Structure 1
Amino acid sequence: MRRYGLALDLQDDPVLIAEYEAYHRAVWPEIKAAITASGIEQMEIYRFGNRLFMLMDVNDTFSFEAKAASDAKNDKVQEWEQLMWKYQQALPGAKPGEKWVIMDKIFELI
């Protein structure tokens, strides 16, 4: 099992943030199915202000490249992603079109 931490910012608008949270309280079943089919075993998203932090635990079959390729062919995932861009904004330093950015782990208490 591997773990990844990712970050993303939301538009700094309380109404949009509330809408985004409402969508995530009732994520479409097709989105959940695409997430689990990719090898993601556990996913949590936390928010502070307009900053999001995602924690993902993945199995050995998971790869970001394979997930991106699968998502690109999935019309429902594309619809979801297009809708989410209304609420999201790229982090400073993100590549053009890049949403969630993988964070570097700098500490672990063992």
Structure 2
Amino acid sequence: MKRQCYALDLKDDPELIAEYEHWHKAENGWPGVRKSIIDAGITDMQIFRTGNRLFMIMDTCDDYEAAKKAAMDASNPAVEEWEKLMWKFQQPLPWAGENEKWIPMKKIFQL
């Protein structure tokens, strides 16, 4: 198992943040998107929020590859539609590259 952590900002608008959280409740998630996450080898995913900053923890199979997941997503209409909807709420971190959303975080401490 590998653990990966990512960060992303939401637009700093309470109504948009509330709607983003609405879409992430279990009963409002899209089954096709959930399936794509599992099919890519992600065994657990959690998203936390403070203010408008998001922090995502992903546990993956040892052979998980982000590039493979991105290719799978690009050919999945449900995931593409989901990502388009999510972009309504999200904004890149100031240091993100072009077309980069979730930014990998570097582990700097472990107990």
State if a TM-score over 0.5 links the two structures: yes
Structure 2 regions of 5+ residues with no counterpart? none
In structure 2, how many angstroms separate the alpha carbons of the residues matched to 1:5 and 1:54? 5
The residue identity in structure 2 corresponding to 1:17 is I
Report matched runs for 1:1-110 at 5 Å. Answer: 1-25=1-25, 26-109=28-111
- Note the aligned Cα RMSD (angstroms): 0.5
The number of equivalent residue pairs is 109
Secondary structure of the structure 1 residue equivalent to 2:64: coil
TM-score (norm 1): 0.97
Q: Deviations over 1:25-77 (max 9, x none)?
A: 02100010000000000000000000000000000231000000000000000
Give the match's secondary structure for 1:78.
helix
Identity %: 55
Query: 2:82 is paired with a residue of what secondary structure?
Result: helix
Q: For 2:22 and 2:57, how far apart are their aligned partners in 1?
A: 19
Structure 1, gaps ≥5 residues long = none
Secondary structure of residue in 2 paired with 1:107: coil
TM-score normalised by the chain length of structure 2:
0.97
Show structure 1 runs of 4+ deviating over 6 A: none
Name the amino acid aligned to 1:71: D
Amino acid of the structure 1 residue aligned with 2:6: L
